[in-house]
Structure formats: structure tokens, C-alpha cells
Amino acid sequence: MYYTNNNVFELSDFAIDANECLEFRRGSMPPVMLDLRSTDEYHKSHISGATSIPSEFLKDRMMMLPPFGKIIVYGGDDDELTGESLKQLKEKGFEQLSYVRGGYSSLDEAIRNSDQEIRLSDIPREEWGQKIEDVLDKKVRPALASDGGGLQVVKIENDTVFINYQGACNGCASAATGTLQFIKKSLSATLNHEIEVIAA
């Protein structure tokens, strides 16, 4: 009789390629993207919407991550090093985990070569408002409406979107924290551009 030992960690069980990762990001609920590289590397260039937690600080900062939902990690070119961080997350009870084979460089290349990815910085400024509204209509407003809420864009200045909450979202405690982060990550990930969101 054969059985599988579920306590054995196999890095290959969690591997996805860069294009699979981009498919997850284009979904209605984008995953948490976790950048395990150094802070300096992150500030030079990173995947828009990703959270920076260098691998050496991961153990102490895991409480910053949501306990449920999809988490995709990426590091540098060393997948084995990324795997060590992934194993730490698994041991702490995080379940929906994946890592990107080839790390940041493979993701950056996939974004640049994809005809399905929008790069806001490549689009004329006068078209930014419509692109931002499109993302809000597809990914954000339906989620807010399911709880009786909504939002309106007041203005866009540079890389900052100012919004007003409507309905149940107006005055809701989570609107100032979790909901705002959800909106920011949805915009940044879909448009491949870091966007700040402020409730006016």
C-alpha cells in the first residue's frame, strides 16, 4: 500500500510560470504578490502592486499578510532561495501559495511581451482616466456593490486617484484600510503602474 506524506515539502508543487501568474493577476480578485528581494532591488524595479518583504525579514513580518487568499511570491533568479521562504509560509499555515519560476526577471519579461497586459506609462495621459474607470468598473465596483457600496472618482492627479465612497462604503471602518488597499492593488496590478488611492 502506498501513501503520500503531506508533510514533505516539494518546491515543484508550488511552481507556476510567469504567464500563469499574470493570469491570476488579471482575475477579479488579484492575489497578494510578495517580492522577496532586497529593499534596494525592489525600489529599483518591481511588479506593480507587489508587497516588499525581503526574505530575511519574512519570519517577523508574516502577520502583514492576509491569512486567506492567494499569495504568489517571487524573488531573484535563485528559485531554491525563494523556496526556503515559501516553505516558511507553508509551515505557518498559509495554504494558497505559489512561486514564480525565474523570479522577477521572468515576470518583467512576460509583462513586456504580453499583448494582454496594459502598461499605463505607455498610454497618453489623456487616456488614463478611462483606463482607470475601466478597471474600477470590472474589478472594484462589483465587489463594493455586493456589500451595498460604491465609489466615484473625484479627480486624478499624476499617479494618485482621489475617490468618494458611496452607499454602505461611506463611513465604513474597513473603507479606510482594507478596501482602500484592495482598490490600490487592483489598479496597480491591472495597469502595471504604481497608483496611490486617497479617499477624498
Which 8-state DSSP code applies to residue 140?
Answer: I
Between 121 and 29, the higher pLDDT residue: 121
- Concatenating the DSSP letter of every residue in 49-78 gives T-EE--GGGHHHHGGGS-SSS-EEEE-SS-
Does residue 103 register a pLDDT over 50?
yes
Q: What percent of the chain has pLDDT over 90?
A: 74
* Cell 535563485 found at: 78
Do 11-113 and 120-199 come out as alike in CATH topology?
Answer: no
- Give the model's pLDDT for residue 1: 43
Average per-residue pLDDT for the chain: 91
Q: What percent of the chain has pLDDT over 70?
A: 95
CB 104 within 8 A of CB 76: yes
Q: Provide the CATH number for the domain formed by 11-113 in this structure.
A: 3.40.250.10
Does residue 2 register a pLDDT over 60?
no
CB 6 within 8 A of CB 117: no
Does residue 175 register a pLDDT over 70?
no
pLDDT tens, residue by residue, 12-26? 999 999 999 999 998
CATH H-level superfamily of 120-199: Fe-S cluster assembly (FSCA) (3.30.300.130)
In the numeric block, which cell numbers belong to residue 102?
A: 525565474
Q: Is the dihedral of CA 150, 156, 161, 162 positive or negative?
A: negative
Domain boundaries, the chain: 11-113, 120-199
pTM comes to 0.84
CB 150 within 8 A of CB 144: yes
CB 29 within 8 A of CB 69: yes
By mean pLDDT, which of 4-8, 74-78, 140-144, 169-173 is the weakest?
Answer: 4-8
Please measure the distance between the N-terminal and C-terminal CA atoms of the chain and give it in whole angstroms: 63
Chain length of the chain: 200
Which 8-state DSSP code applies to residue 40?
Answer: H
In the numeric block, which cell numbers belong to residue 195?
A: 497608483
Cα separation, 98 vs 198, whole angstroms: 31
Calculate Rg over the CA atoms of the chain.
18
Report the Cα 75 to chain-centroid distance in Å: 14
Instruction: Name the pLDDT band for 133 (thresholds 50, 70, 90).
Output: very high
- Give the model's pLDDT for residue 123: 94
pLDDT tens, residue by residue, 51-77? 999 999 999 999 989 888 899 999 998
Find the mean pLDDT for residues 124-153: 93
